[in-house]
Chain A
Amino acid sequence: DQQVKQNSPSLSVQEGRISILNCDYTNSMFDYFLWYKKYPAEGPTFLISISSIKDKNEDGRFTVFLNKSAKHLSLHIVPSQPGDSAVYFCAASARSNFGNEKLTFGTGTRLTIIP
């Protein structure tokens, strides 16, 4: 049962334009959401997160939007840069559920920025 879904395996965006990566979840217990970026041969690195009490969180070029009613979140990267080319994983956790803090990951979206 895939509780966190990233339905787009890949995305190509022109340099300078906006990249929008999407993620859907099914578990209503999830209350914290994160995006990780992964380069080949490296471990995932934390990018940005959002608590379920918010609907938007911004950090520089990266903004995460959360729509709880739709159980949907998205990551916006503006402007997109060649160094943003990587695999992006959406992850979720149920921090309020004691003993269940593990991150549940989506399958990832490979973002390619075209110069």
Chain B
Amino acid sequence: DSGVTQTPKHLITATGQRVTLRCSPRSGDLSVYWYQQSLDQGLQFLIQYYNGEERAKGNILERFSAQQFPDLHSELNLSSLELGDSALYFCASSVIRAYTEAFFGQGTRLTVV
């Protein structure tokens, strides 16, 4: 158990809909990272938050947004969903900004039908 909790584990939704993925980082971790893994692909960095503020952005679509709340949990919002958004979405957390390693949650498998 990495200590990072992601909910839900599975999500099936229709095209055009909006979903929210939730991540609770390890106790004490200030940084949260979101990654997307499409079929047979590597992990693509989406966005990072540190102590409530956005730190870095990767290849995140404009239809996607995220935030980190005062209690440090984070949410990834995906809207106007398309079939191609079907993927595994991972959240990771780390202690400090210049981290040694990040700990990953089990992921949310999103299926858009």
Using a CB–CB distance below 8 Å, which chain A residues touch chain B?
6, 32, 34, 36, 41-46, 49, 89, 93, 95-96, 98-108
User: Which of A43, A89, A104 meets B107, CB within 8 Å?
Assistant: A43
CB proximity of B43 to chain A, nearest CB, Å = 4
Q: Give the distance to chain B from A59, nearest Cβ to Cβ, in Å.
A: 12
B-chain residues with CB within 8 Å of residue A6 when the two chains form the complex: 42
Tally of contact residues, B, Cβ under 8 A: 29
> B residues bordering A, Cβ < 8 Å?
2, 4, 6, 31, 33, 35, 41-45, 48, 55-56, 58, 90, 92, 94, 97-107
A57 to chain B, nearest CB (A): 12
Q: What is the CA–CA distance of A92 and B42 in the complex, to the nearest angstrom?
A: 13
A29 to chain B: closest CB distance in Å? 13
> By the criterion CB–CB under 8 Å, are A101 and B98 in contact?
yes
Contact A106:B2 (CB < 8 A) given known A44-B90, A99-B56, A100-B56? no
Are A107's CB and B42's CB within 8 A? yes
* Residues in chain A near residue B42, CB distance under 8 A: 6, 89, 105-108
Chain B residue at minimal CB-CB distance from A46: B101
Q: Give the distance to chain A from B52, nearest Cβ to Cβ, in Å.
A: 15
B45 touches A104 (CB 8 A): yes
Give the distance in Å from the alpha carbon of A49 to the alpha carbon of B94 in the complex: 15
Contact check, A44 vs B43: say whether CB atoms are below 8 A apart.
Answer: yes
Residues of B within 8 A of A89 (CB): 42-43
* With A101-B48, A101-B94, A101-B99 already in contact, 14 other A-B pairs whose C-beta atoms are closer than 8 Å: A43-B4, A44-B104, A45-B2, A45-B104, A46-B101, A95-B99, A99-B55, A101-B55, A102-B33, A102-B56, A102-B58, A103-B45, A103-B92, A105-B44
